[in-house]
């Protein structure tokens, strides 16, 4: 599908530049009005996933996937849950392994290409046979998981009707190099501080198999992925992980209407994370690249962010082409 014309997103007065548009909504936004019901499901490898439900007895469900070191209570997750709830959707915000408030049991945890757990969540939802329409929505790392899942599987269950992916590092190598730049040291340090906590837990769970000693010398994702992500999840090294898990290489296989939104001033994304050629080769994938927005930012005064409203509009369009919103 040809790249869509640049949509107009106008940040609030004073929200200038990608860094401010990233930091303020992610650290200082408060979202109320969302109540979750937690459910824990088992995985085939004797682990578990924590699912948080916001329900309105709808026959339409949105499954939300959070970003790196996020969870179901991040402002962007709550904001999307609230906006879709206002539109009559049920929402399932699931937590990646080790992100729901309790360490997971197995040696592995999660990564940008771990689509098996998303598949487990989807299978759990579809087995209930309650929902006639299911959409997938992913943010940042979660967006990469959604796009890779759809691309590697091609044809999916007919109930999975659409997807939205926001601020996606769809070329992991390119994004890692971008994050290693000096201007992004604050984000990198924050991510590594959270990841260090995960590794220290794993080192206590699996002494001799995970070693947290010397973690302080890690300064970027290449070093972290070489030392931890790759060996813990069956990859040769960071390059092998990035090559096999970057959603950019799976876009051609997506077979349902999918909207990808990456702001041009996103400080986390390099040029390869704007996959224009790949999108133009697939009639089902739509790419929007607003000039402003930052990383999972897109603040607006009022209840919803610009991407929350844009996602709701896109899903409404998909439903209008089908049978409409079912309640």
Tell me the catalytic residues: 140, 266, 295
* Neighbour count for residue 29 (Cβ, 10 Å): 15
Give me 311's structure tokens.
Answer: 């996602």
Q: Report the candidate in 151, 110, 120, 111 with the shortest Cα–Cα distance to residue 247.
A: 151
Q: Could you tell me if residue 141 is left (phi over 0), alpha (psi between -120 and 50 degrees) or otherwise beta? A: alpha
Q: Could you tell me if residue 123 is left (phi over 0), alpha (psi between -120 and 50 degrees) or otherwise beta? A: alpha
Radius of gyration, CA atoms only, the chain: 19
Q: Kind of pairing, strands 258-261 and 48-54?
A: unpaired
Query: Residue length, the chain?
Result: 327
The CA-based angle 325-289-171, given to 5 degrees, is 100
Contact yes or no for 48/32 (Cβ under 8 A): no
Contact yes or no for 56/47 (Cβ under 8 A): no
Q: What does the alpha-carbon distance between residue 186 and residue 225 come to, in Å, rounded to a whole number?
A: 19
Contact yes or no for 50/101 (Cβ under 8 A): yes
Q: Which residue has the tokens 């790759």?
A: 230
First to last CA, the chain: 31
Helices H / strands E in the chain, number of each: 11, 8
Q: What does the alpha-carbon distance between residue 137 and residue 116 come to, in Å, rounded to a whole number?
A: 16
Q: Quick check: helix, strand or coil at residue 294?
A: coil
């Amino acid at each position: 599908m040809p790249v869509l014309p640049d949509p107009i997103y106008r940040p609030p007065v004073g929200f200038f530049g990608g860094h401010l548009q990233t930091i303020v909504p992610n650290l200082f936004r408060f979202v109320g009005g969302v109540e979750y019901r937690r459910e824990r499901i088992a995985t085939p490898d004797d682990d578990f996933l924590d699912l948080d439900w916001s329900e309105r007895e709808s026959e339409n469900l949105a499954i939300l996937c959070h970003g790196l070191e996020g969870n179901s209570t991040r402002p962007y997750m709550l904001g999307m849950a609230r906006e879709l709830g206002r539109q009559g959707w049920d929402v399932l915000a699931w937590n990646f392994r080790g992100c729901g408030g309790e360490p997971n049991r197995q040696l592995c945890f999660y990564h940008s290409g771990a689509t098996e757990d998303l598949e487990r969540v989807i299978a759990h939802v579809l087995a209930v046979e309650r929902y006639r329409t299911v959409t997938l929505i992913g943010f940042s790392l979660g967006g990469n998981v959604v796009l890779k899942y759809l691309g590697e599987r091609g044809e999916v269950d007919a109930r999975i009707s659409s997807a939205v992916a926001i601020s996606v590092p769809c070329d992991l190598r390119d994004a890692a190099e971008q994050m290693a730049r000096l201007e992004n040291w604050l984000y990198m340090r924050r991510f590594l501080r959270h990841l260090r906590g995960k590794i220290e837990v794993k080192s206590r769970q699996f002494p001799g198999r995970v070693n947290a000693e010397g973690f302080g010398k890690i300064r970027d994702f290449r070093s972290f992925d070489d030392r931890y992500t790759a060996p813990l999840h069956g990859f040769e090294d960071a390059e092998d992980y990035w090559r096999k898990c970057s959603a950019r290489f799976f876009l051609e296989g997506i077979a349902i209407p999918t909207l990808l939104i990456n702001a041009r001033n996103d400080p986390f994304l390099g040029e390869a994370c704007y996959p224009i050629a790949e999108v133009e080769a697939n009639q089902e994938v739509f790419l929007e690249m607003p000039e402003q927005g930052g990383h999972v930012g897109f603040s607006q005064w009022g209840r919803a962010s610009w991407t929350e409203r844009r996602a709701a509009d896109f899903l409404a369009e998909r439903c209008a082409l089908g049978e409409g919103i079912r309640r």
